[in-house]
Structure 1
Amino acid sequence: MKVVLINPPHTAIGSRIPDDHLPPLGLLCIGGPLIDAGFAVALIDADLSDMPLNRIVEEAANREPDVVMLGHSGSSSAHATVVALCGALKQRLSDLIIVYGGVHPTYHWDEILRDSPCIDIIVRGEGEQTVVDLMRTLKAQGDLHAVRGIAFRDPQDSAKVVETPAAYMIRNLDEHRIGWELIDHSSYSYWGGKRAVVLQFSRGCPYLCNYCGQRGYWTQWRHRDPVKLAREIGRLHREHGVELINFADELPTGSRRMWRTFLEALIAENVPVLLVGSTRAGDIVRDADILHLYRQAGVIRFLLGIEAYSEATLTQIRKGASVHEDRQAIQLMRQHGIISMATYVVGFEEERDVDLWRSLRHLLRYDPDQIQLLYLTPHRWTPFYKTAEHRQVIQTDTRRWDYKHQVLATRHMPPWRLFLWFKSIELILQLRPKALYRLLGHPDAVFRQSMRWYSEMGRRTWLREVFEFMFKTVRVREGQSLKTFLGPTLEAREYALEKAKPANSARRIIPLTESR
């Protein structure tokens, strides 16, 4: 059987502005196991060139697939595009089986199957083993009820949907290989034209941030074998010229011992690669005595989720961090030549002008090298969602629910004034004298180049966001509540995978109209 993997185009500003583009790791992660299981697999990365839907359909039809599998890292904001694409695919290829996976469909599986007849099967949670089991069952025309981690319409009653037991969590992350052969490495770059890939050292996070849409999807923190991963990076550099690794982990540094082992193994590989990713300020402070190994291994930037200036807000959202620790982490990173990027989220509270003024002063005291402001974007499967159900939705185009567009109203401030604060804070942080010195006069050439690349990308994105806000973004004045617009909380589904094999497991069949 022939399988075509499709990475749909994404409308997010960040996907369209930079010249650089990263490969779709999630699809490559399922592509490798499918190839090893004997299936013919091809990849169409429609996001690489912002491919129009009719061309995607044509490209897929030319490959004569039996099954198309879709997924996107910008899961929720790409969903509307996925549905439109699936409808076009089914219109052209009526016998095609369409499988949809990722974070958003993992939690919204029943609604998707109810509302989108063009989608046949949902993969819930990690897909590496599930898609192999699914394809073997489809090839043998077997019983889909025996495949864990999927949802589909009941063959006996299309008004009902079958939810099979959750897939087992993959404990050995080295068990399934990434299908690198599906891409041309020369097509993918980051950090100003450096050949780049996305990797995961770990999956999951042990912290309880109540707004995070990823933590429950992975269920539990696990890591790859650090020496094997270092060898893989070394091979990617020597065989494919890869110069930069973008870690997709929530918390690659979760285990000090394993992270140090990885750093030392990568140093031993002696390959000139740069590493960028995200971590927690607490882990940077914890590792103060080994930060020289971070830099020696190639770590050039870590993103730190600062989120808010108020200790009360940090407690409310269960961040598990402190203002003092955040500031200390930025200082430690600077001492070791590692760029700090601070993300700051607007919208946890319904801000007033004084709150945003305090946010600006707070960020200036932190003095991060780079700044990224984001709008709060709630996910129904997170505990935070229930606390925001009453708030008014002003952005009804879910393709713009990408953290860079305001989606929830603030009672004390119209959108134009919040946007003015938003863009002014970014501008002030990036143009302050200290930031300009690091951009233009920092003694480390690698540090300097990295700052210049981000500054150029940020300038273009900033101008595009201002233009879009003024001339293209449509907002409603009197919107529905979040609960009315999206539906009730799905917090009960937050943990997507089974940690251990249960004594008894059975499928569930529910009417498509049933709400739970």
Structure 2
Amino acid sequence: MKILLVNVPHPAIGSRIPDDHLPPLGLLAIGGPLIDEGHAVSLIDGEFGPMPLGDLVARIVAAAPEAVLFGHSGSTSGHPVIAAVSSDLAMAMPDVKIVYGGVFPTYHWRDILEAEPHVTAIVRGEGEETTRRLMSALEAGRPLDAIPGIAFRDGSVIRETPPAALIRDLDAYRVGWELIDHTRYSYWGGLRAVVVQFSRGCPHPCTYCGQRGFWTRWRHRDPIRFAAELARLHREHGVRVINFADENPTVSKKVWRTFLEALIAENVDLILVGSTRADDIVRDADILPLYRQAGWVRFLLGLESTDAATLDLIRKGTTTTTDREAIRLMRENGILSMATWVVGFEEERDRDYWRGLRQLLAYDPDQIQMLYVTPHRWTPYFRLTEERRVIQLDRRRWDYKHQVLATRHMPPWRVLLWFKLIEVILQARPKALARTYLNRDTRLRHAMRWYTRMGRRVWPHELLSWLRDPLTRDGPTVAEFWGKGQEREDSMVVRANARPVAAGREAA
């Protein structure tokens, strides 16, 4: 079957501002198994340019695929773009099969299939095995109702099949790296780069997280094989930067140490960046030198808040003391800390921002990433926000970098003011400037300068976007805007997948 994977241009600030582009790991992860199954698979990446939507549709039509597969990692804010492209494509190629996967369609499948009848099927949850079975059935003209993990139209009826079993052996499916030209993808200021995934899932029950139910249970790649794959990407394709897409790759200290030692033994010059939890950093204080030796340069730490009550509310499961200690340990071992801090909780006042700023200064992170609280309908946190007012009606702006909810005690302009003020104070204080421009470690200095350049470009862009894109004062409630919460449905999926089974290679 002739299959085309399509990565649409994403409207988010993080996609549009940097000159660098990272490869679409999700689509490549689907592509590898489809190639191995014998399908003719190719990829169009609309992020470059970015490609105008009309040109993207024309390129898809010119490729004459039998099936087009859409997906995007930032799938909530990316969905309106995929909806527009797939609609135009269906008009131009009414017989083409359109398949859609990712976090957003996994949970919004009913809405999508009702509003977009041209979508053939939606893959829910992990896609490697489900997509393999789906494409085999479509090619052979077999019924789809026997394939777990999908939703589809059966005439005028929308059907959902039972959840697919989680993949226990993540090494059973390979990433289709041959689908991309590695010379086109870079990060960290022009260094050749890829996105990888060592593990899936997370054992922590943070209420706002939109990933826990999707991946469900924490699983990991074979650490030695994974280290060998990263080394091969460096030796064969010149890859320098490895960006980990994991929610929490360091869950198992034993497994993680095995990976670090295996990568060190490969003796390759790599720069590793990713996210983890502060409590894992504190736990691993004795092996942090191995982190650095393996190539780790920066970790994003999801602090979310410096207020203990807020941390309890979102069930973060960490403490301000742990967060502060993690940053200290990382600096001691030559690893940069990027602290995320979320604003826009309903009861916040000026004093809360002032207290938070003082605590962030006490934490002394190397970099700060400010975000706005953004609820997803399948998370427990959604229930706490259902009656809050939506002030941003453009779903393309639901990317954590735009205000989307009204706060009880503060107008949007004052939330924005605090947001930008905290960024400036944290990034422009003398201590931060000294680390950026006078750091003796050339890798850290390069990283700090690159991120500072990005910040200088993003900062005015966010302000201009806020001024050009007026917020509504009398918007609907969150529940009215997004529909009924799906926390219970998501919990059922989690329970159904509590015991993953091995990946199968049996015929669909």
TM score, norm. by length of structure 2:
0.97
Match of 2:193 in 1: 196
Kindly indicate whether residue 397 of structure 2 is the aligned counterpart of residue 400 of structure 1.
yes
Instruction: Check conservation: 1:168, 1:499, Cα contact below 8 A.
Output: no
Kindly indicate whether residue 18 of structure 2 is the aligned counterpart of residue 22 of structure 1.
no
Kindly indicate whether residue 166 of structure 2 is the aligned counterpart of residue 169 of structure 1.
yes
Q: CA deviation at 1:14?
A: 1.2
Q: Residues of 2 paired with 1:96 and 1:350: CA distance?
A: 49
Q: CA deviation at 1:117?
A: 1.4
Instruction: Check conservation: 2:23, 2:194, Cα contact below 8 A.
Output: yes
Match of 2:431 in 1: 434
Match of 2:485 in 1: 489
Amino acid at match of 2:17: I
Q: CA deviation at 1:64?
A: 0.8
Q: Residues of 1 paired with 2:258 and 2:344: CA distance?
A: 39
Task: State the superposition RMSD in angstroms.
Answer: 1.1
Match of 1:508 in 2: none
The 5 A counterparts of 1:196-275 are: 196-275=193-272
Q: CA deviation at 1:49?
A: 2.3
Q: Residues of 1 paired with 2:14 and 2:454: CA distance?
A: 9
Q: Residues of 1 paired with 2:48 and 2:487: CA distance?
A: 34
Number of aligned residue pairs:
498
Q: Where do 4+ consecutive residues of structure 1 move more than 4 Å?
A: none
Match of 2:48 in 1: 48
Kindly indicate whether residue 472 of structure 2 is the aligned counterpart of residue 476 of structure 1.
yes
Match of 2:97 in 1: 97
Match of 1:111 in 2: 111
Instruction: Check conservation: 1:107, 1:493, Cα contact below 8 A.
Output: no
Match of 1:465 in 2: 462
Match of 2:178 in 1: 181
Instruction: Check conservation: 2:167, 2:500, Cα contact below 8 A.
Output: no
Match of 1:409 in 2: 406
The 5 A counterparts of 1:358-377 are: 358-377=355-374
Q: Deviations over 1:236-255 (max 9, x none)?
A: 00000000100000000011
The 5 A counterparts of 1:324-363 are: 324-363=321-360
Q: 1:142 to 1:500 in 2, by over 3 A?
A: farther
Q: CA deviation at 1:118?
A: 2.0
Match of 2:304 in 1: 307
Instruction: Check conservation: 2:166, 2:500, Cα contact below 8 A.
Output: no
Q: Residues of 2 paired with 1:364 and 1:71: CA distance?
A: 39
Amino acid at match of 1:316: L
Q: Residues of 2 paired with 1:287 and 1:473: CA distance?
A: 45
Q: Residues of 2 paired with 1:118 and 1:335: CA distance?
A: 55
Kindly indicate whether residue 126 of structure 2 is the aligned counterpart of residue 146 of structure 1.
no
Q: Deviations over 1:298-318 (max 9, x none)?
A: 000000011111112111110
Long gaps (5+) in structure 1: 503-516
Long gaps (5+) in structure 2: 502-508
Q: Residues of 2 paired with 1:171 and 1:260: CA distance?
A: 21
- What SS does the aligned partner of 2:299 have? strand
Q: CA deviation at 1:264?
A: 0.4
Q: CA deviation at 1:501?
A: 7.5
Match of 2:279 in 1: 282
- What SS does the aligned partner of 2:49 have? coil
Q: Residues of 2 paired with 1:411 and 1:219: CA distance?
A: 34
